[in-house]
Amino acid sequence: MSSELMDALRQLAREKNIDEIEMLDRLESTLATTYKKTLDLENDARVTIDRENGRIRVFELVPVGGTEEEPVFEENDITPSDISRFAAQAAKQVITSAIREAEREQIFEEYADRIGDSVTGTVQQSDSRYTLIKIREGVEALLPPAEQPPNERYDHNQRIKALIIDVRKSSANEPSIVVSRTHPNLIKRLFELEVPEIYDGIVEIKSVAREPGLRSKIAVSSRESGLDPVGACVGPKGSRVRMVVAELRGERIDVVPWSETPSAFVGNALSPAKVSTVITNDAEHTATVIVPDDQLSLAIGKEGQNARLAAKLTGWRIDIKSVAQAMESGLAHAIAAGETMVVEEGDGRCIAETSDGIRCRNKSLPGKRYCRIHDKEAGASA
């Protein structure tokens, strides 16, 4: 191998960010394997490449003693006359492999810190096994079936957005980047792209609940007084939220105001249903929500979807009752109060409050929320 070829290898190694020593070591190993097979050697071969002039020498390693663990070899020089032809072929193979590995390593290093970011790409291939997305030239991502909403199908060259959920050191035939279209944080990233107030940190998405392809809820708050966070996310005539819905293929999105008061947050989360009363039990982290009779089905939602998403969004277990059901359950006093009631402790105390907001000190009856006195009043008002 000529010194000119050595110079070319060094230049290529620098351009592709490949370790020169490692590349030459691999070339020596590849040539040793090639010559053992080509020359039909009984023993292993060793190849050396002079790092200055590129001269290649081939040796057969003939065992002459030692032990099985530490054999001793005699090196016989068997360098063939036409070594340059073999060297050029092996060099091409090693360089191609090294370049591919270097590119995979560069992709890993570039994207390893981007887990949780959104990316845009074009669909290259889609079948029942996986969907392959081209992010840019030489960079592809894998969208597994488990990360695809059930209602989505992808066409060749279709542009889609997805969330990076994993970056791994992969084999030659598998992309390093794994993306998702079902992850709740994809909604956060899409709103960041459409709502400047979120991108700038003025409006914050506090929580997300999602049933991919069907419906989602997001709770938002504002760090700036006077700014309506819901309005900022929805946009003029719904323009901003419409862009997110379009990217998610029609997935319905409810934007609700977040509140640090659990009862208010639970009530907001059940939007678009109207809520009359919310009774929270901090100890058990449960909320009993009373809604007008004509709002019950809306509050629960189709197959329980609205209630389920509200529970995910708030982190509270939610029990929804109509006014009629609440009356039958002995919650007439709560309905009559016409306001949110909070059970601060699961200590068995009566939940009734005076007009001044002072809670009754009596113990509640077994299996009920009121003491004997207030239970009678609740029954009478019912």
Topology of domain 183-258 in CATH is: GMP Synthetase; Chain A, domain 3 (3.30.300)
For residues 29 and 39, what is the distance between their CA atoms, to the nearest angstrom?
Answer: 15
| pLDDT tens digit at each of 382 positions of the chain | 567 777 877 887 787 777 788 888 888 888 888 888 888 888 999 989 888 888 888 899 998 888 878 888 899 998 887 766 666 677 677 777 777 777 788 888 889 999 999 999 999 988 888 899 999 888 899 999 999 999 899 999 999 999 999 998 866 667 889 999 999 999 999 999 999 999 999 999 999 999 999 999 999 999 998 899 999 999 998 999 999 999 999 999 999 999 999 999 999 999 999 998 999 988 899 999 999 999 999 999 999 999 999 999 999 999 999 988 988 877 766 666 554 544 433 445 566 666 554 556 677 676 566 677 877 665 554 4
pTM of the model: 0.70
For residues 359 and 354, what is the distance between their CA atoms, to the nearest angstrom?
Answer: 6
Domain 260-382 maps to which CATH number in 3.40.50.150, 3.30.300.20, 3.40.50.720, 3.40.50.300?
3.30.300.20
What's the pLDDT score for residue 342? 42
Q: Which residue has the tokens 């960010």?
A: 17
CA separation, residue 349 to residues 321, 334, 342, 346 (Å)? 22, 15, 12, 8
What's the pLDDT score for residue 86? 67
Query: What tokens does 362 get?
Result: 């009596």
**Cis bond upstream, residue 150 (ω within 30):** no
> Residue 133 belongs to what H/E stretch?
strand 131-136
What's the pLDDT score for residue 226? 85
CATH superfamily, domain 3-111, is NusA, N-terminal domain (3.30.1480.10)
> Residue 379 belongs to what H/E stretch?
helix 372-381
DSSP secondary structure, 195-261, as one string: -HHHHTTSEEEEEEEEETTTEEEEEEEESSTT--HHHHHH-GGGHHHHHHHHHTTT-EEEEEE--SS
The answer to whether the 115-182 and 183-258 domains have the same CATH topology is no
Topology of domain 115-182 in CATH is: OB fold (Dihydrolipoamide Acetyltransferase, E2P) (2.40.50)
Q: Where are the domains of the chain?
A: 3-111, 115-182, 183-258, 260-382
3-state helix, strand, coil in the chain (%, to 5): 40, 25, 35
Q: What torsion do the CA atoms of 207, 210, 215, 221 make, to the nearest 10 degrees?
A: 10
For residues 277 and 185, what is the distance between their CA atoms, to the nearest angstrom?
Answer: 31
Ramachandran region of residue 255, left (φ > 0), alpha (ψ -120 to 50) or beta? beta
> Residue 76 belongs to what H/E stretch?
strand 71-77
